[in-house]
Chain A
Amino acid sequence: DTGVSQDPRHKITKRGQNVTFRCDPISEHNRLYWYRQTLGQGPEFLTYFQNEAQLEKSRLLSDRFSAERPKGSFSTLEIQRTEQGDSAMYLCASSLGGGGRYEQYFGPGTRLTVT
């Protein structure tokens, strides 16, 4: 297993454009998480899936953000009408189970720059 993968690794877009990121979790992991990290800060939770069900969303996830995980495998995070404040590293993680017994494994992230 090659771990969690994310695509693209870097994305530069103009303000107002839509962008979509993809995350492929570790194959046997049924939990998938999205986080956002800005410079100098720790990652902040955005949303969480158990299989295909989106079970929790942060207040950070405005109406312009949508995440899906069809068939409980890969996940996509879409940002509509991007703003400069959306510039950040978007991280995906997966885990075998929920709660404190289980560790999360992170992908390399997608760095978004909105110009």
Chain B
Amino acid sequence: DAKTTQPNSMESNEEEPVHLPCNHSTISGTDYIHWYRQLPSQGPEYVIHGLTSNVNNRMASLAIAEDRKSSTLILHRATLRDAAVYYCILRDVGYGGATNKLIFGTGTLLAVQP
């Protein structure tokens, strides 16, 4: 799986939008962009994933650059519960038995201030 680069930490205020960036300049055409988050003392939680087009779900939005070399996870209104480590991970589509595992980096620690 290709490597991603994220800031070590970010801060946000409650009820404000948060934009978490991720760079993946060596992404291949068959790599999906996945985001997971991990709250303290819990297992990772799936947030969102996409391939080329922007994606929205009840938790967040994923904005993917036109060249796919970067993406941004958008939390529309941060709450205290959103304080977590956010991981951006690339995963191959999986044809021909490509890897199925998630390769976690160090992620971005998001602090949310009341």
Question: Residues of A at under 8 Å CB distance from B?
Answer: 4, 31, 33, 35, 41-45, 48, 55-56, 58, 91, 93, 95, 97-101, 103-109
Chain A residues lying within 8 Å of B32, measured Cβ to Cβ, are 99-101
Point out the residue from B85, B99, B104 that lies within 8 Å of A56, measured CB to CB: B99
Instruction: Kindly provide the distance from the CB of B14 to the nearest chain A CB, expressed in whole angstroms.
Output: 26
A selection of 24 A-B contacts at a CB cut-off of 8 Å is A4-B43, A33-B102, A41-B106, A42-B104, A42-B105, A44-B104, A48-B101, A55-B100, A56-B100, A91-B43, A93-B44, A95-B100, A97-B94, A99-B92, A99-B95, A99-B100, A100-B49, A100-B51, A100-B90, A100-B91, A100-B94, A104-B46, A106-B43, A106-B46
Q: How large is the interface on B (under 10, 10 to 19, 20 to 34, 35 or more residues)?
A: 20 to 34
Interface residues of B (CB under 8 A from A): 30-32, 34, 36, 42-46, 49, 51, 85, 87, 90-95, 98-107
Give complex CA distance A115, B105 in Å: 28
A57 to B7, CA, bound (A): 30
The CB with the most chain B CB atoms within 10 A, among A95, A97, A100, A105, is that of A100
* Chain B residues positioned under 8 Å from A106 (CB to CB): 43-46
Shortest distance between the CB of B46 and any CB in chain A (Å): 4
CA distance A108 to B94 in the complex (A): 26
Residue among B51, B90, B91 having the largest count of chain A Cβ atoms under 10 Å = B91
CB distance from B69 to the nearest CB of A (A): 17
Minimum distance in angstroms from A98 CB to a CB of chain B = 4
Contact of A100 among B42, B93, B104 (CB under 8 A): B93
Closest 10 CB pairs of A and B: A99-B94, A42-B104, A100-B32, A106-B43, A100-B91, A45-B101, A103-B46, A98-B100, A100-B93, A106-B44
